Amino acid sequence: MATEYACEWIVFWLSNWRFLEALEYLGSLSLLIAVIFYFAESGDRVKQRHYQAWQVINTAQGKGGSGGRIDAMQELDADGVPLTGVDVSEAFLQGLRLNNAKLIRANFHNADVRNASLVATDFSDATLTGTNFRNSDFQGALLRGADLTDADLGGTNLDGADLTGTTLENTDLHGANLHNIRWGDISSIKMANLAGVKNAPPDFLRWALQNGAVGSGQQPDVTKNDARQ
């Protein structure tokens, strides 16, 4: 009985001890400091994440498969990081989503990028030779000066895309939507497949057939003057 009474007294005494209150305040202060440091170091964590993403892309350069490159590219783009000059040649990138991305001078040679969403993406001066973009969305994309030789753009949506200065030699455009394309000064369109293209500007079809394109189901009067946009 005496022992129980002594223990109860000790507990009562400790509960009122200001030192314990001080420890409680110190614990709260430590938590606050930890939160402050967490946010202060957030910039370093973002940089580390970007470094790791670029490492994934560069390590897999020139190799087949995905190798984590889809997630890495999408993460960098989501953080507003330009992908200028990125080299994903030979990569498997089906379903890639890089809307409004900066892919100036990128290298997608022989990559498989089917069913991709590339709305308003900037591919200016990019190397897209042999790339499979079948059924992808290029609405409003910038393809100025890009090289699409031997590329597959079958079934793609090129509505409003800028093809100024683009090379389309031997490019497969069958079934593509060419509504409102900008096509002035196309470098070459020899042997490009225009079978079943949709909404193509009549002047474009006329010019393309005059300059070596094949396969168009529409046969405009090629004797009329060239009226390129």
Q: Give me the CATH number covering residue 117.
A: 2.160.20.80
Is 6 among the domain residues?
no
Give, as one character, the DSSP assignment of residue 152: B
H/E segment holding residue 229:
none
Is 58 among the domain residues?
no
Is 76 among the domain residues?
yes
Is 149 among the domain residues?
yes
Across the chain, mean pLDDT equals 84
Binned at pLDDT 50, 70 and 90, residue 41 comes out as: very low
pTM assigned to the model = 0.76
What is the extent of the structural domain holding 125? 64-210
Mean pLDDT, range 135-152, rounded to an integer: 98
Q: Do the beta carbons of residue 133 and residue 112 sit within 8 Å?
A: no
Is 124 among the domain residues?
yes
Alpha-carbon span 136 to 132, nearest angstrom:
9
Binned at pLDDT 50, 70 and 90, residue 40 comes out as: very low
How many domains are contained in the chain? 1
Alpha-carbon span 205 to 194, nearest angstrom:
8
Token pair, residue 193, equals: 């497949």
More confident residue, 2 or 182: 182
Degrees, nearest 5: CA angle 224-218-188 = 70
More confident residue, 176 or 15: 176
| pLDDT greater than 80 at residue 26 | no
